[in-house]
A = this chain, B = another copy of it.
Amino acid sequence: MIKVVRAIERLPKRERQQQLARLIEDNPFMTDRELNRRLKVSIQTIRLDRLELGIPELRERIKLMAERSYDPVRSLPMHEIIGDIIDLQLDKSGISIFEIREEHVFSRTGIARGHHIFAQANSLAVAVIDDEIALTASADLRFIRSIKLHEKCIAKAYVRSGPGEGSKAKVEVITYVGEEMVFQGHFVVFRSKGE
């Protein structure tokens, strides 16, 4: 039950802790010593602040980063289909939704990396083919405009050639953000019927 006295004009502690959090946020490699010089408080105060804010020490921070970037599974969450398929009419059409999150963008610009957009479209193009095995044979892509953090990509796939037409299917995928077309891809997908 810690009560904060509100009569004070400047709340050095709160404010300082915010600054501290921000400093560490955008340079996680700062030692407490650097932070204490930066914020003009003793190193002990820095440590108390970290404790209160639940910010681990330098080495732990670094280790966490390293582990995240190392993690062989997380490196691209592409095990399965990228995006949530919300409609699928085999050999006809399909729709999937994929929201751009932090891990999909260039951190400096907030623009989605092309391969995630491709991955959604490719996953859908393969999924829409009603066959035992479906593999992308070739593709022709146009990234119409850059896609940014938190945008929801809606990919629509249309099969342009039926199942009777041999071992190849043509699938067109168009990805929208809202009304806007942001990506277009023409896929040729190999299919190997039954056995």
Contacts and interface: CB of A to CB of B under 8 A. Distances in A.
A142 interface: yes
Contacts of A79: 69, 103, 107
B142 A137 contact: yes
A63 B106 CA distance: 21
B72 A101 contact: yes
B115 A119 contact: yes
Chief secondary structure at chain A's binding surface: mixed
B106 A77 contact: yes
A135 interface: yes
A78 B76 CA distance: 13
Contact of A119 (B72, B119, B123, B133): B119
A48 interface: no
Contacts of A133: 106, 108-109, 111
Given A62-B63, A66-B62, A141-B141, A73 B119 contact: no
Closest 6 CB pairs of A and B: A69-B69, A114-B136, A115-B119, A65-B66, A139-B141, A66-B66
12 contacts: A62-B63, A73-B103, A75-B80, A76-B80, A76-B82, A76-B119, A78-B104, A78-B115, A78-B116, A114-B139, A118-B122, A139-B140
Interface of A: 28-29, 59, 62-63, 65-70, 72-73, 75-80, 82, 101, 103-104, 106-109, 111, 113-116, 118-119, 122-123, 126, 133, 135-143, 146
